[in-house]
Amino acid sequence: MFRIWSVIAYFCICIDGAPTEENLASQIRALHQELARVRPTWVQNVSTSAPSVAAAPTAWSNVSTTPNDFIWILLCGALVMYMQAGFAMLEAGSCRAINVQSIMLKNLFDVCGGTMGWWVFGWAFAYGGPMENGFTKNRFIGGRQFFGSGALQANSDGIQEPDGAFQHSWFFQWAFCAAAATIVSGGVAERVKFPGYLIYSFVMTSFIYPVVVCWTWGYGFLADINDVGYMDFAGSGIVHLTGGIGALVGAIVAKPRNGRFEDPDAFAPHSVPLLVFGTFSLWFGWYGFNCGSTLGMPDAKKGLLAAQVAMNTTLAAAAGGIMVFILKFVLLRKYDVVGLCNGILAGLVSITAPCSTVECGTAVAIGLLGGFIYIGASELLKRLQIDDPIDAFPVHGACGAWGVLAAALFDWGLGFDHVHGWNGFDCVVKKGTSKCLTGAGGQLLAANITQIIVVFAWVGFLTALIFIPLRILGLLVAEKDVQDTGFDSAKHSPPKGYWTPTSKVIQI
């Protein structure tokens, strides 16, 4: 059952024109009659008498591989990859012109180096775990299919044939991995050396992020930590919280840019158009990020779920942007385009986890609250003098954690008694029965809080373990004169990110 009235009661937000709970319940019952169960991610053709925990495949070959699935995953994966252009433009526009090439270099190598890390180690650690009863056997880390060794399989005649389920899944999940690493780049921009950052980026994409995926999307211990398990549909916690925590710890260890809090006006964004273009690019790519997390399009029921996700994603983004724009105007008495952009991103991050299990009114509320949380986190970092040039932690870390909580608090089940979780339009049922599991809301909330805690501890500890030694060895933070003159003139050829024509007086 939809839970918009729970949102209104809990946060005292009035949404005009919301339908009655009875009407919403009847709509859901009608959908139940028309649709078979919308399966959890990666699971197809499973009996509707499902267990209380989302079932999982025992191998990637069990993933549906109809032509529509290939088209859908490849298209959505390309959209997620295009988000890298959005990250690059957003970060470049948010920083000074003297470091544009340096920023572009880090973003490009997040993709290139991250691809190698994902190919060599990342996929294997995330999805290569030995499976037992549908779940990762050791529940912590995988250990098969290094170097993409699962891409080809020998048939009965010994002829190598492609494993389509592996390949299109590898491609789609690679795009997510690269996104997690790029978030960190923004948090340490304009003062971190390229070699030191490259080391961290490789470890993030080959080990830190893949282990988080193994615990969750790879069917590790968080998948069935209780009768319900965690719920993070497209990665508010798995991707964005992971990247946001890495950015926060990196910003703390790297310390502020030289003169950042003594002369803040000198560090204003150098190109608002680039920043706006980056925001629109990310918003566009987010439809691949969220809608593509259905992980297939074999039939109409998946299409309906993807459409629901798209609608919620759009509404939350707009709501987050409006909230931040209003709050910034109240604080500054001026229009803040940069704040509007970050508010849009805050709404997108906030809805990424719950986008498949909330209705549209709730999505608006989640986006509005995400914008409020972003403002609070951003102002807190400034007061603590933690230099996060693009607000990577407030947008991705704080709103990522909020999105994971929202997925549990506002799941459209019956109050906190029933939840839908990975089952989309249907409730999680009690094992061995066809009845909805009761008392499930508390279990889902407990699982999602656990996810936030373990991700924060894992990513924070390992990021510090990498960045602190690099700083001690002098491989992390650039010298004062390099920061003052800019990385472009000190480290790059050509020495400027922009070409400026020389003015000449033409005499006749």
**pLDDT for position 4:** 41
Q: In this model, does residue 362 exceed pLDDT 80?
A: yes
Neighbours of 319 (CB within 10 A): 25
Neighbours of 439 (CB within 10 A): 13
Higher-scoring residue by pLDDT: 8, 408? 408
**pLDDT for position 13:** 37
**pLDDT for position 164:** 62
- Cα gap 182→201, rounded to integer Å: 8
Q: In this model, does residue 506 exceed pLDDT 50?
A: no
- Tell me the DSSP string of 145-197: -GGGTTSEEE-TTS-EEE-HHHHHHHHHHHHHHHHHHHHHHHHTTTTB-HHHH
Q: By CB neighbour count within 10 A (0-12 exposed, 13-18 middle, 19+ buried), where does 43 fall?
A: buried
- Cα gap 44→57, rounded to integer Å: 9
57-154+165-491 maps to which CATH number? 1.10.3430.10
Which H/E stretch holds residue 52? Answer: none
**pLDDT for position 17:** 42
**pLDDT for position 372:** 96
pLDDT class for 8, splitting at 50, 70, 90?
A: very low
> 171-191 pLDDT, tens per residue?
999 999 999 999 999 999 999
Q: In this model, does residue 160 exceed pLDDT 90?
A: no
Residue 479 has what DSSP assignment? P
pLDDT class for 23, splitting at 50, 70, 90?
A: low
Q: In this model, does residue 218 exceed pLDDT 60?
A: yes
For residue 396, what are the CA distances in angstroms to 174, 239, 373, 389, 392? 19, 9, 11, 13, 6
- Tell me the DSSP string of 292-303: GGG----SHHHH
3-state secondary structure of 283: helix
| Residues whose CB is less than 8 angstroms from the CB of residue 187 and which lie 6 or more positions away in sequence, other chains included | 244, 246, 247, 248, 250, 251, 388, 389, 390, 392, 393
pLDDT class for 131, splitting at 50, 70, 90?
A: low
- Please report how the helices 337-352 and 272-291 are oriented relative to each other, as an axis angle in degrees rounded to 10: 10
For residue 88, what are the CA distances in angstroms to 103, 207, 370, 449, 488? 7, 23, 23, 31, 16
> 78-100 pLDDT, tens per residue?
999 999 999 999 999 999 999 99
Mean pLDDT, residues 52-74 taken together: 60
Mean pLDDT, residues 307-323 taken together: 97
Higher-scoring residue by pLDDT: 334, 130? 334
**pLDDT for position 62:** 42
pLDDT class for 36, splitting at 50, 70, 90?
A: very low
**pLDDT for position 45:** 34
**pLDDT for position 450:** 97
- The 10 Å CB-count burial string (b at 16+, else e) for 155-186 is eeeeeeeebbbbbbbbbbbbbbbbbbbbbbbb
**pLDDT for position 26:** 52
Segment of 12-21, 220-229, 312-321, 429-438 carrying the highest mean pLDDT: 312-321
pLDDT class for 462, splitting at 50, 70, 90?
A: very high
Mean pLDDT, residues 394-415 taken together: 94
Quote the tokens at residue 143. 């250990």
Mean pLDDT of the chain: 85
**pLDDT for position 145:** 87
In this structure, of 23-32, 258-267, 277-286, 455-464, the range with the lowest mean pLDDT score is 23-32
Q: In this model, does residue 57 exceed pLDDT 90?
A: no
Higher-scoring residue by pLDDT: 42, 268? 268
